[in-house]
């Protein structure tokens, strides 16, 4: 962080200064203080909760409910956000191939994974710091996931301790782990999560040196969910300001921690066949094709366009999950048809939680699940096993 950026981060912002001036002026008896900024005569109707029909309906409500910096924390991607945009554009490169439609009531979306029967292949991806979205944070998100019969992966960087989250509901609960250089610390973190009841451990292996231009542009205005001040380049021992918690680990670390986990263990952040095969050789029980929702590296591929490569390399030896950019049930169908066993939603449940709390998070999951069933019915695919590559046509650039 440069000296100017540090001054911006720690000093009073322009918005705070203007807010203070406005407060002073509002007390003047010659001004009409504290008037409603949007009088009733010019209002626009906000849709009611029961009128929410797609996941996108929740996003503007969420944006209106939280400070700008909290919204940006959820919305942003790394650097120019090319990969963030590419994740969504990729769905335009996959067409659905119609079939003989069946009744939606005949569609079964259940599956078995790691010896457990799941009602839906739609899961909650691990996303950090959910309490700024709503006071219930991960506690409420887990309640919503359980009510919607979806498995939840809890972020290592959650707002609440994992054991407390585990007591909030009784649905399938997994734990996402960020590698730590200290092997003994890694062992303790993993042991605590397993003791608290996590059924699967997901190890993130794409924790790169991300830079978020939105954070710089808004000058870290109040509300961004940060727990500590960003250390200086001098503190980190390198001229680039890269945290010591990133870019240090290699394959040997994953080999070292594999024996520490007795439950199924997945590697999250796979984008190549080579990486997938290496993880299987180490002993991982599953993979997550992920680019961290466009937050890992800029100008990388979308997850959808590399999914088939990974699936073909794995050849059914372990389950393959995918995340990054999924918004609709039709998006989920495209990934399942290309070989994914399950799809993880990251931003979409956050929109629901930030917009309406637990009911919002539950509702947004149910909407995407219903879209999945409806699309499978239109395509004439009654089960997930019947949803294969004949259901899509791809035209990746």
Query: For residue 123, what pLDDT is reported?
Result: 98
Buried-exposed string 303-318: b where 16+ CB fall within 10 A, e elsewhere: bbbbbbbbbebbeeeb
Instruction: Given the residues 134, 156, 220, 292, select the one marked as catalytic.
Output: 292
pTM, rounded to two decimals = 0.84
Query: For residue 274, what pLDDT is reported?
Result: 97
pLDDT category of residue 239 using cuts at 50, 70 and 90:
low
pLDDT category of residue 16 using cuts at 50, 70 and 90:
low
Query: For residue 249, what pLDDT is reported?
Result: 76
Look at residues 368, 174, 206 and name the one whose alpha carbon lies nearest to residue 303. Answer: 206
Among 10-14, 149-153, 217-221, 257-261, the least confident range: 217-221
- How long a stretch of residues is the chain? 397
Is it the case that residue 259 has pLDDT exceeding 70?
A: yes
Class for the domain spanning 55-394: alpha beta
Across all residues in the chain, what is the average pLDDT? Answer: 87
pLDDT category of residue 250 using cuts at 50, 70 and 90:
confident
Name the β-bridge partners of 286. 266
More confident residue, 74 or 221: 74
Residue position matching structure tokens 């900024």: 37
Query: For residue 206, what pLDDT is reported?
Result: 80
Question: Helix 137-147 vs helix 347-379: angle between axes, to the nearest 10 degrees?
Answer: 10
Q: Is 181 exposed, middle or buried (0-12, 13-18, 19+ CB in 10 A)?
A: exposed
**How far apart are the C-alpha atoms of 311 and 320, rounded to whole Å?**
7
- Long-range (24+ apart) CB contacts under 8 A made by 49-54 are 49/356, 49/359, 49/360, 49/363, 52/363, 52/364, 52/367, 53/367, 54/328, 54/367, 54/371
Contact in structure between 361 and 144 (CB atoms under 8 Å): yes
- What would the mean pLDDT of 2-26 be, rounded to a whole number? 61
More confident residue, 324 or 30: 324
Name the β-bridge partners of 46. none
| Cα distances (angstroms) measured from residue 335 to each of 94, 159, 364, 389 | 9, 30, 19, 10
pLDDT category of residue 218 using cuts at 50, 70 and 90:
low
- What would the mean pLDDT of 113-127 be, rounded to a whole number? 97
Query: For residue 8, what pLDDT is reported?
Result: 54
More confident residue, 339 or 297: 339
**How far apart are the C-alpha atoms of 26 and 366, rounded to whole Å?**
46
Among 122-136, 227-241, 292-306, 328-342, the least confident range: 227-241
Query: For residue 227, what pLDDT is reported?
Result: 38
User: How much of the chain exceeds pLDDT 90, in percent?
Assistant: 72
Contact in structure between 329 and 370 (CB atoms under 8 Å): yes
pLDDT category of residue 79 using cuts at 50, 70 and 90:
confident
Is it the case that residue 223 has pLDDT exceeding 60?
A: no
Is it the case that residue 5 has pLDDT exceeding 90?
A: no
- What would the mean pLDDT of 116-121 be, rounded to a whole number? 97
Q: Phi/psi at 133 (nearest 5 deg)?
A: -80, -35
Q: What is the pLDDT of residues 278-335, one digit of tens each?
A: 999 999 999 999 999 999 888 999 999 999 999 999 999 999 999 999 999 999 999 9
User: How much of the chain exceeds pLDDT 70, in percent?
Assistant: 78
More confident residue, 277 or 211: 277
Q: Would residue 156 show up in a list of annotated catalytic residues for this protein?
A: no
Contact in structure between 365 and 377 (CB atoms under 8 Å): no
In angstroms and rounded to an integer, the radius of gyration of the C-alpha atoms of the chain is: 22
- What would the mean pLDDT of 169-188 be, rounded to a whole number? 95
**How far apart are the C-alpha atoms of 37 and 32, rounded to whole Å?**
12
Is it the case that residue 144 has pLDDT exceeding 90?
A: yes
Query: For residue 231, what pLDDT is reported?
Result: 46
């Amino acid at each position: 962080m440069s000296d100017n950026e540090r001054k911006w981060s720690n000093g009073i912002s322009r918005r705070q200064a203007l807010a203070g001036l406005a407060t002073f002026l509002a007390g003047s008896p010659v001004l009409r203080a504290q008037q409603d900024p949007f009088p009733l005569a010019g209002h626009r109707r906000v849709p009611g909760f029961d009128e929410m029909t797609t996941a996108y309906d929740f996003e503007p409500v969420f944006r209106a409910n939280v400070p700008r910096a909290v919204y940006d924390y959820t919305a942003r991607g790394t650097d120019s956000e090319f990969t963030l945009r590419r994740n969504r554009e990729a769905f335009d490169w996959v067409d659905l191939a119609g079939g003989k439609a069946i009744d939606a009531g005949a569609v079964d979306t259940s599956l078995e994974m790691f010896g457990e029967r799941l009602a839906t292949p739609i899961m909650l991806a691990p996303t950090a710091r959910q309490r700024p979205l709503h006071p219930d944070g991960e506690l409420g998100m887990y309640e919503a996931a359980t009510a919607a019969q979806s498995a939840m992966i809890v972020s290592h960087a959650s707002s609440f301790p994992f054991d407390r989250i585990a007591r909030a509901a009784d649905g399938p609960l997994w734990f996402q782990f960020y590698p730590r250089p200290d092997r003994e610390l890694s062992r303790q973190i993993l042991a605590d999560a397993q003791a608290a009841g996590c059924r699967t451990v997901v190890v993130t292996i794409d924790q790169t040196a991300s830079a978020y231009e939105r954070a710089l542009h808004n000058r870290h205005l109040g509300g961004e969910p940060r727990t500590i001040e960003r250390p200086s380049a001098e503190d980190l021992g390198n001229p680039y300001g890269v945290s010591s918690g990133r870019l240090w680990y290699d394959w040997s670390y994953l080999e070292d921690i594999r024996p520490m986990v007795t439950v199924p263990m997945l590697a999250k952040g796979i984008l190549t066949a080579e990486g997938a095969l290496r993880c299987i050789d180490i002993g991982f029980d599953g993979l997550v094709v992920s680019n961290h929702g466009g937050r890992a590296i800029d100008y990388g591929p979308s997850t959808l366009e590399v999914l088939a490569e990974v699936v073909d390399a794995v050849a059914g030896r372990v389950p393959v999950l995918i995340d990054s950019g999924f918004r609709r049930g039709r998006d989920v169908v495209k990934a399942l048809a290309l070989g994914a066993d399950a799809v993880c939603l990251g931003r979409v449940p956050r929109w629901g939680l930030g917009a309406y709390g637990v009911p919002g998070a539950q509702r947004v999951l149910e909407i995407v699940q219903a879209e999945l069933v409806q699309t499978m019915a239109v395509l004439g695919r009654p089960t997930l096993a019947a949803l294969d590559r004949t259901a899509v046509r791809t035209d990746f650039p």
